[in-house]
Homo-oligomer: A and B are copies of this chain.
Amino acid sequence: MINFIVAQTDLKAFITIDFDGNLTPNDLKSVQPPDPIAGDFAKKLVILSGRAPIWLYAFLVHYYHPVKAVAVFDPRLDGGVVVQSHSNDYSVGDLVRFD
C-alpha cells in the first residue's frame, strides 16, 4: 500500500510518497493519492518527494496536472524542480524551497 504524507503552507503542498516492500506496475491501478481538486491543492505548488520508481512519479505528475504547478524534490539540490506550471508565479526549471 502506498501512503502519502502531506505538509502544507498557504502556497505550497509537500507530498511525500511512502510504502513498504516493493511496488509493481499493478499498484498504479489502485493507488489513491490525495485528490488534486479537493482542499486547496489546486491553488498551490505541489512538490512531490520520496523514494519511489520513476513511473510512480510519472503517474503522479499527470495526476496532479490540475494544480497550479508541480515540482519534484531532488535531495541533491535540496529543493523542488518545477516540471509543469499553469501560473506566472512559477516557470519550468525553477528550483523552489518548501517554507
Contact = CB atoms under 8 A, between A and B. Distances in A.
Interface of A: 25-29, 48, 53-55, 57-59, 61-62, 65, 70-72, 74, 77, 81-84, 91-95
Contacts of A71: 55
A58 B58 contact: yes
B57 A54 contact: yes
Total copies of the chain: 2
Given A25-B93, A28-B93, A94-B25, A57 B58 contact: yes
A53 B74 contact: yes
Contacts of A55: 71-72, 74, 81, 83
Contact of A83 (B28, B92, B95): B28
A79 B93 CA distance: 29
A72 to B, nearest CB: 4
